[in-house]
């Protein structure tokens, strides 16, 4: 026990020092956690416990809480709206990448069919932990490439389940038929989803309601932790991964009014446990074996990176721009943490050679170490290769514009705003990040430009510092918040008018320098009363 405390204190101290240094260098903290694990193993000679099941369980719960937060953001309604990114792009990416990888493993490296199948499916997956951590922290998750990357990652996480089922089928003994295994798995899936969505949803809502009404933060936090762990254990009990249970629990809570509070309260626990996961990854680094095979590890990693980028680019180019396709391909070009699980299960089941599984694990670790370095430079990398015309280049004519109105968004509300501005004969500019909306605005005779108003370069091109007013008409609260933050930082004195539809949205903007917040429900109530008076209705 005393030694365990020494290891924990040492790990905390080392990770803090390393991450402070890396932060000043602009390097991801993920690298710091991985280095911490490697240092701890060699300083205290703990290589004998780096395969400890208990240690892996602690690390895995970092992924559990990450998947829970993903579930909070991917509600059933949002999953339906993102079905193209999740099920369309995701299915094509995993299938096509796995087919190409299988051909390489089986025909180039002469591996047997079973091993080739498992390796190809594992290498088709990307790192949810690394990519989503970066996308969320940098707020790139709301960009076009971030949305596509998130959708594909969600599908990959779901795809882990049938991959593990496939491994169990490949390792089945003669006493149990494949058909029977598939039937049992399907029955288990129905039971888990039914318990979580039918019974679990009511219990979760009830528990969160009473813990929130107690006004004790520790009770609410305890309720959330209980829900996450219980859902994870239920999924594991039925033969699935812990992450699946946590993901479904997040999706259920996303349908309730508590999802924003849950997401903010759970963030510190998720980040700490996710850091623990990367420490465990670092503990698995065999420096000697890596040094001996560095040429093979580097060569295979580069081959996988290029191959996955090319495949992803080809798939997305059918529906997305050159730059977005390239960025998404680079963002998902690495090998994911769930590959550890797949290689481990396949090795234990005798489907994959132990030495081969260990070598593949080194490739995964190397991939996760390298990825944070280049994922933060994706925009610069794509900008170097893709000589596309920037959106802001078309806005050069705005340099002399003053006292104009900037309308952010050209959906339903944006269209009505421009209609009334036309009646006032006001000078305005429409900016929207959607090609479709910009085309509609131009077709309607509006002066419109394609661009993300949360980017300083776009605000500079629009000359917001000379604008009379900036009106934000978007419905998406996250994007609305990003634009308000960007405008406030860019020009503190600008008049910023924002539309909200609830008290919750209004509170989320309370800390920003917003000139006027227009509450949609309040304005509707006011107009209803005005219409009543205009009709000269008798009232008592």
SS3 463: coil
Between vectors from CA 45 to CA 43 and to CA 51, what angle results, nearest 5°?
120
pLDDT in tens, 472-514: 998 888 888 889 988 988 888 889 999 888 888 888 888 888 8
Which tops the pLDDT comparison, 189 or 410? Answer: 410
Q: Coil, strand or helix: which one is 296?
A: helix
Architecture of domain 50-385: Up-down Bundle (1.20)
Least confident of 94-98, 286-290, 306-310, 326-330: 286-290
**Nearest-10 crossing angle of helices 354-375, 338-348:** 180
Beta pairing class for 405-408 and 428-432: parallel
pLDDT value of residue 426: 87
- In degrees, rounded to 5, the angle at the alpha carbon of residue 268 between the alpha carbons of residues 215 and 78 is 85
> N- to C-terminal Cα distance for the chain?
77
Counted residue by residue, the chain has a size of 540
- pLDDT of 267 over the 80 cut: no
431 touches 449 (CB < 8 A): yes
Q: What are the backbone angles phi and psi of residue 432, rounded to the nearest 5°?
A: -150, 145
Per the listing, tokens 């969320």 go with: 136
Q: What is the pLDDT of residue 536?
A: 57
Whole-number average pLDDT of the chain: 81
All structural domains of the chain with their residue ranges: 1-49, 50-385, 391-534
Average pLDDT over residues 301-316: 93
pLDDT at 302: 93
- Model confidence at 392, pLDDT cuts 50, 70, 90, reads very low
Encoded tokens for 17: 């020092």
Q: Is the dihedral angle over the CA atoms 121, 123, 124, 129 positive or is it negative?
A: positive
For 182-203, b where at least 16 C-beta lie within 10 A, e where not — what string? Answer: eeebeebbeebeebbeeebbee
CATH class (in words) of the domain with range 391-534: alpha beta
Q: How far apart are CA 320 and CA 145, in angstroms?
A: 9
| % of the chain surpassing 90 pLDDT | 14
As a whole number, mean pLDDT of residues 140-152 equals: 81
pLDDT for 1 beyond 70: no
Annotate 202-271 with three-state secondary structure: HHHHHHHHHHHHCCCHHHHHHHHHHHHHHHHHHHHHCCCCHHHHHHHHHHHHHCCCCHHHHHHHHHHHHH
What would the pLDDT profile of 369-378 be if each residue is shown by its tens digit?
888 888 888 8
Q: 446 pLDDT exceeds 80? A: yes
Asked if residues 392 and 463 have their Cβ atoms less than 8 Å apart, the reply is no
Residue 301 has pLDDT above 90, yes or no: yes
| Number of other residues whose CB lies within 10 A of the CB of residue 305 | 19
- The whole-angstrom separation of Cα 240 and Cα 9 is 34
Per-residue pLDDT at 54 exceeds 70: no
Query: Which strands, in side-by-side order, build the sheet including 516-519?
Result: 448-450, 428-432, 405-408, 469-472, 495-500, 516-519
pLDDT at 456: 83
Question: What pLDDT is stored for residue 416 in this prediction?
Answer: 92
Of residues 471 and 207, more confidence is placed in: 471
pLDDT higher for 403 or 2?
A: 403
> Is the Cβ–Cβ distance between 133 and 337 less than 8 Å?
no
Confidence of residue 30 (pLDDT cuts 50, 70, 90): confident
Q: How many angstroms separate the most distant Cα atoms in the chain?
A: 91
Q: What is the pLDDT of residue 75?
A: 64
What is the predicted pLDDT for the residue at 391? 40
The percent of residues in the chain predicted with pLDDT above 70, rounded, is 87
What digits encode the pLDDT tens for the residues 409-434? 998 899 999 999 988 888 899 999 88
The per-residue pLDDT for 540 is 46
Q: What is the CA radius of gyration of the chain?
A: 26
Rounded average pLDDT over 23-45: 80
- Distance in angstroms (rounded) separating the CA atoms of residues 441 and 418: 9
Query: How confident is the model over 198-215, as a mean pLDDT?
Result: 81
Residue 342 pLDDT > 80: yes
Average pLDDT of the residues in 158-180 = 69
Residues in a beta bridge with 470: 406, 496
CB atoms within 10 A of CB 40: 20
pLDDT at residue 2, as a whole number = 56
Among the ranges given (83-92, 168-177, 520-529), the one the predictor scored with the smallest mean pLDDT: 168-177
Q: Left (φ > 0), alpha (ψ -120 to 50) or beta: where does 165 sit?
A: alpha
Tell me which of 356 and 396 has the higher pLDDT: 356
Report pLDDT for 52. Answer: 63
Of the candidates 63, 33, 83, the residue with the CA atom closest to the CA atom of residue 132: 63
Region 313-332 average pLDDT: 89
Q: Report the candidate in 354, 344, 451 with the shortest Cα–Cα distance to residue 407.
A: 451
pLDDT above 60: residue 346:
yes
Asked if residue 55 has pLDDT above 50, the reply is yes
Q: Using alpha carbons, select from 474, 446, 445, 450 the residue that is nearest to residue 461.
A: 450
The three-state DSSP-derived secondary structure of 395-452 is: HHHHHHCCCCEEEECCCHHHHHHHHHHHHCCCCEEEEECCHHHHHHHHHCCCCEEECC
In this predicted structure, what is the pLDDT of residue 365?
A: 81
Please give the Cα distance from 233 to 64 (Å, whole number): 11
Q: Is the pLDDT of residue 178 over 50?
A: yes
Q: What confidence score (pLDDT) does residue 393 get?
A: 39
Q: Report the interhelical angle of 354-375 vs 29-43 (nearest 10°).
A: 140
pLDDT at 390 (0 to 100):
42
**Which pLDDT value is given to residue 340?**
76
């Amino acid at each position: 026990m005393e030694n365990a405390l020494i290891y924990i204190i040492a790990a905390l101290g080392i990770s803090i020092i390393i991450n402070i240094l890396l932060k000043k260098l602009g390097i991801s903290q993920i690298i710091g956690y991985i280095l911490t694990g490697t240092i701890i193993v060699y300083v205290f000679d703990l290589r004998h416990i780096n395969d400890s099941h208990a240690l892996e369980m602690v690390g895995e719960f970092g992924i559990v809480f990450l998947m829970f937060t993903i579930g909070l953001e991917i509600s059933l309604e949002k999953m339906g709206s993102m079905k193209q990114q999740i099920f369309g792009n995701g299915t094509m990416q995993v299938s096509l990448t796995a087919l190409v990888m299988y051909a390489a493993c089986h025909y180039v490296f002469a591996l047997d069919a079973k091993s080739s199948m498992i390796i190809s499916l594992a290498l088709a997956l990307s790192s949810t932990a690394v990519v989503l951590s970066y996308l969320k922290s940098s707020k790139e998750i709301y960009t076009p490439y971030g949305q596509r990357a998130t959708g594909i990652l969600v599908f990959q996480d779901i795809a882990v389940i049938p991959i593990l089922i496939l491994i169990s089928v490949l390792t089945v003994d003669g006493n149990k038929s494949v058909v029977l295994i598939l039937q049992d798995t399907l029955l288990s899936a129905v039971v888990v989803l039914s318990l979580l969505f039918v019974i679990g949803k009511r219990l979760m809502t009830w528990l969160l309601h009473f813990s929130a009404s107690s006004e004790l933060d520790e009770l609410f936090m305890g309720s959330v932790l209980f829900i996450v762990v219980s859902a994870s254990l239920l999924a594991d009990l039925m033969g699935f991964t812990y992450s699946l249970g946590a993901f479904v629990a997040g999706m259920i809570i996303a349908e309730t009014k508590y999802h924003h509070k849950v997401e903010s309260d759970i963030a510190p626990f998720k980040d700490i446990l996710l850091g623990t996961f990367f420490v465990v990854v670092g503990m698995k680094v065999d420096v000697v074996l890596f040094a001996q095979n560095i040429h093979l590890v580097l060569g295979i990693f580069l081959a996988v990176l290029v191959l996955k980028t090319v495949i992803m680019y080809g798939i997305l180019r059918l529906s997305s721009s050159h730059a977005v396709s390239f960025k998404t391909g680079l963002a998902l070009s690495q090998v994911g943490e769930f590959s550890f699980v797949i290689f481990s299960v396949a090795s234990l089941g005798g489907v994959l050679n132990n030495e081969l599984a260990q070598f593949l694990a080194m490739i995964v670790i190397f991939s996760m170490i390298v990825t944070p370095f280049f994922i933060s430079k994706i925009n610069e990398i794509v900008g170097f290769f893709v000589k596309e015309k920037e959106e802001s280049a078309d806005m050069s004519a705005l340099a002399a514009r003053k006292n104009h109105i900037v309308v952010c968004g050209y959906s339903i509300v944006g269209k009505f705003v421009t209609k009334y501005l036309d009646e006032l004969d006001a000078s305005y500019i429409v900016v929207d990040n959607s090609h479709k909306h910009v085309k509609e605005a131009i077709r309607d005779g509006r002066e419109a430009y394609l661009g993300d108003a949360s980017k300083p370069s776009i605000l500079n091109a629009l000359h917001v510092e000379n604008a009379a007013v900036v009106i934000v008409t978007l419905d998406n609260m996250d994007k609305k918040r990003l634009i308000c933050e960007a405008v406030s930082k860019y020009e503190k004195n600008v008049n910023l008018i924002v539309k909200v539809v609830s008290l919750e949205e209004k509170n989320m903007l309370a800390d920003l320098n917003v000139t006027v917040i227009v509450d949609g429900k309040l304005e509707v109530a006011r107009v209803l009363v005005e219409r009543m008076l205009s009709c000269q209705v008798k009232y008592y």
